[in-house]
């Protein structure tokens, strides 16, 4: 969503392959066939795997992100604010689908023993949001421009078992789990002057345990564990766990990160199959065959939900997106899918990410051709924050180009047509000096596009209710 997108991961190779080659469930051999034709216990165990996928992934992500002695780049010890200072360039390969719109200000911290205090400086009229994720990936609070405004505020983030008095001047935000991941985003134009202004804001944030409030506090150094794999992508590490190891970790994590009350029927179903996940997991309940095959079968089910999602994904004009992210209730398959392809996703009220992997089902985007995206007069993306169109290569990384432009938005100062429409030229070579302000450079080979809408308008026309649609990208 990896640590992105994400660490903030978006579309990986498995997803791209499935989106391009989806087939009915009955057409699969191997594990999928086991789920369709096999035992009821295997199906229930697969449901339990999908149920726990977000919590296990969050823990593995936390281990990688915090496995350092001090904050550096996109990593930092538990309880330490990580401040990304500039946008990545085309050489950046740490995470997929990076953005060039907001600078991340993030932290993992644990509120299981005591609350933590987050002090937010006066942000003025600068757009920002501070989504906080539970261990199950639900966004349980999102202070920011949209919800709380830009004035200075102090938040008390408390855990599920805390019921103490909230100090004067603080606003309590109740986390349903001990694990909390803050994924703050601050808008920045990317100029040297604006970088400096955002850096000053980042440095003014404070995060510390409640017991230390009112005294000078510096987060302690972390200790790197050499046994933690810092190179293999987190998603691959999770998928490589045997079913027994996976469920043992899940049961352990649920002690401090309890499921919601609405999850009780699902837990009872898992228990009938011998998977009692609210205590130490009994590895004997899984046969050797299930131990080996269950993870792959369950992950395939998660990925298939992208192409057969019963309304959880919207597809129109060559774009795919969801307005069902950030909070999931008992929609466990959607929660697992977003974990796999977009860990750290916002609520739709804060951001929606229409993505176009292909112009149509018969061909790929290619720099061999020229394309345009045209927003008619009065038909610009309806947002109260901002929008941007980002170019990625086929692996979801920025594309090296002669003008160092990785995304298009109003802040890149494009030129409008005489009729008030906006035309973006998507191609490998310059469209000419007179059109270069509207040029989004593409690679010579395959590429993908992502349209980011921050704080999308909820009143018509709106992407949320379907009264506004992203125009199709047209090949010239």
Q: Which of 281-290, 394-403, 413-422 shows the lowest per-residue confidence on average (mean pLDDT)?
A: 281-290
Residue 16: the pLDDT is 30
Q: Is residue 11 part of a domain?
A: yes
Assign residue 431 the CATH number of its domain: 2.60.120.1600
- Could you tell me which residues are beta bridge partners of residue 315? 320
User: Between helices 288-304 and 13-21, what is the axis angle to 10°?
Assistant: 70
248 and 368 belong to one structural domain:
no
Mean pLDDT of 102-106: 95
372 and 419 belong to one structural domain:
yes
SS3 293: helix
Tokens at residue 123, please? 């942000």
Residue 365 belongs to domain spanning = 355-475
Write down the mean pLDDT value for the chain. 89
Q: How many residues does the chain have?
A: 476
227 and 364 belong to one structural domain:
no
Model confidence at 290, in pLDDT bands (50, 70, 90)? confident
286 and 392 belong to one structural domain:
no
Residue 197: the pLDDT is 98
Q: Is residue 348 part of a domain?
A: no
Give the phi and the psi of residue 288 in degrees, each rounded to 5: -60, -40
- Could you tell me which residues are beta bridge partners of residue 102? 187
Tally of CB atoms within 10 A around 28: 16
Q: Is residue 323 part of a domain?
A: no
49 and 154 belong to one structural domain:
yes
Judge whether residue 315 has pLDDT over 60. Answer: yes
Q: CA nearest 128: which of 112, 144, 104?
A: 144
pLDDT per position as a tens digit, 191-223: 999 999 999 999 999 999 999 999 999 999 999
Residue 374: the pLDDT is 98
Last residue of a domain, one of 295, 318, 341: 318
Q: CA nearest 317: which of 350, 349, 361?
A: 361
Q: Which helix (H) or strand (E) holds 33?
A: helix 31-37
Tokens at residue 231, please? 């190179």
Q: Is residue 327 part of a domain?
A: no
292 and 208 belong to one structural domain:
yes
Residue 26: the pLDDT is 31
Judge whether residue 91 has pLDDT over 60. Answer: yes
CA distance 25 to 107: 40
CB burial class (10 A; 0-12, 13-18, 19+) of residue 287?
middle
What does 147-190 look like in DSSP terms, one character per residue? TT-SS-EEEEEE-TT---PPPTT-EEEE-SSSEEEEEEEEE---
Q: CA nearest 339: which of 58, 20, 18?
A: 58
pLDDT per position as a tens digit, 15-26: 332 232 233 333
Number of folded domains that form the chain = 2
Judge whether residue 14 has pLDDT over 60. Answer: no
User: What percent of the chain has pLDDT above 90?
Assistant: 78
Whole-angstrom Cα Rg for the chain = 23
296 and 414 belong to one structural domain:
no
Tally of CB atoms within 10 A around 370: 15
Q: Is residue 336 part of a domain?
A: no
State the pairing for strand pair 422-427/439-441. parallel
298 and 425 belong to one structural domain:
no
Q: Is residue 268 part of a domain?
A: yes
412 and 303 belong to one structural domain:
no
Model confidence at 33, in pLDDT bands (50, 70, 90)? very low
173 and 305 belong to one structural domain:
yes
Residue 276: the pLDDT is 79
Mean pLDDT of 22-49: 58
Q: Is residue 288 part of a domain?
A: yes
Q: CA nearest 398: which of 474, 449, 436?
A: 449
CB burial class (10 A; 0-12, 13-18, 19+) of residue 269?
middle
Last residue of a domain, one of 299, 318, 337: 318
User: Between helices 40-66 and 332-342, what is the axis angle to 10°?
Assistant: 40
The answer to whether the CB of 450 falls within 8 A of the CB of 392 is yes
pLDDT per position as a tens digit, 292-312: 899 999 999 999 998 777 779
Residue 286: the pLDDT is 79
Give the phi and the psi of residue 60 in degrees, each rounded to 5: -65, -35
pLDDT per position as a tens digit, 331-389: 999 999 999 988 999 999 999 999 999 998 889 999 999 999 999 999 999 999 999 99
Q: Is residue 299 part of a domain?
A: yes
Q: What angle do CA 172, 173, 178 make, to 5 degrees?
A: 120
124 and 177 belong to one structural domain:
yes
Residue 461, preceding peptide bond in cis (omega within 30° of 0): yes
Contacts within 8 Å (CB) and 24+ apart, 218-225:
219/77, 219/79, 219/80, 219/81, 220/77, 220/79, 221/69, 221/70, 221/77, 222/66, 222/67, 222/68, 222/69, 222/70, 222/76, 222/77, 222/78, 222/80, 223/69, 224/67, 224/68, 224/69, 225/63, 225/67
258 and 373 belong to one structural domain:
no
Residue 38: the pLDDT is 55
Q: CA nearest 68: which of 234, 285, 238, 219?
A: 219
Assign residue 162 the CATH number of its domain: 2.60.40.1610
Last residue of a domain, one of 270, 292, 318: 318
End-to-end CA distance of the chain: 33
């Amino acid at each position: 969503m990896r640590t992105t997108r994400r660490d903030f991961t978006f579309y990986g190779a498995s997803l791209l392959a499935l989106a391009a080659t989806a087939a009915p469930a009955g057409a699969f051999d191997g594990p999928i066939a086991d789920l369709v034709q096999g035992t009821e216990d295997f199906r229930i165990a697969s449901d339990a795997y999908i149920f726990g996928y977000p919590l296990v992934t969050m823990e593995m992500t936390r281990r990688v992100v915090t496995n350092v002695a001090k904050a550096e780049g996109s990593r930092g010890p538990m309880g330490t604010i990580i401040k990304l200072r500039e946008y990545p360039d085309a050489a950046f390969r740490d995470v997929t689908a990076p953005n060039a719109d907001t600078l991340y200000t993030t932290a993992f911290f644990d509120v299981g023993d005591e609350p933590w205090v987050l002090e937010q400086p006066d942000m003025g009229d600068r757009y920002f949001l501070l989504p906080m994720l539970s261990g199950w990936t639900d966004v349980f609070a999102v202070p920011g421009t949209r919800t709380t405004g830009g004035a200075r505020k102090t938040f008390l983030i408390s855990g599920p078992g805390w019921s103490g008095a909230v100090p004067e001047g603080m606003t309590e935000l109740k986390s349903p789990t001990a694990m909390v991941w803050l994924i703050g985003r601050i808008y920045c134009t990317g100029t040297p002057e604006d970088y400096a202004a955002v850096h000053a804001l980042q440095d003014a944030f404070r995060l510390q345990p409640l017991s230390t409030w009112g005294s000078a506090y510096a987060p302690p150094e972390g200790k790197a564990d050499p046994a933690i794999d810092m190179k293999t992508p987190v998603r691959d590490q999770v998928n490589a766990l045997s079913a027994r190891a996976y469920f043992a970790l899940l049961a352990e994590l649920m002690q401090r990160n309890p499921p919601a009350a609405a999850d009780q029927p699902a837990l009872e179903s898992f228990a009938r199959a011998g998977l009692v996940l609210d205590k130490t997991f009994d590895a004997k309940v899984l046969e050797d065959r299930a131990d080996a095959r269950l993870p792959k079968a369950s992950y395939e089910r998660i990925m298939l939900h992208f192409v057969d999602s019963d309304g959880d994904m919207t597809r129109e004009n060559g774009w795919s997106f969801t307005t069902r992210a950030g909070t999931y209730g008992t929609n466990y398959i959607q929660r697992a899918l977003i974990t796999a392809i977009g860990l750290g996703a916002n609520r739709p009220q804060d951001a929606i990410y229409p993505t176009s992997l292909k112009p149509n089902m018969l061909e790929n985007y290619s720099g061999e051709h020229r394309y345009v995206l045209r927003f008619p007069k009065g038909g610009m993306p309806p947002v109260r924050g901002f929008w941007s169109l980002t170019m990625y290569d086929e692996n979801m990384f920025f594309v090296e180009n002669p003008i160092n432009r990785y995304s298009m938005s109003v802040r890149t100062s494009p030129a409008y047509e005489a009729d008030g429409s906006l035309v973006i030229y998507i191609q490998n070579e310059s469209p000419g000096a007179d059109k270069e302000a509207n040029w989004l450079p593409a690679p010579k080979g395959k590429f993908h596009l992502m349209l980011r809408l921050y704080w999308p308008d909820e009143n018509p026309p709106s992407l949320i209710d379907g009264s506004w649609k992203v125009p199709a990208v047209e090949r010239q």
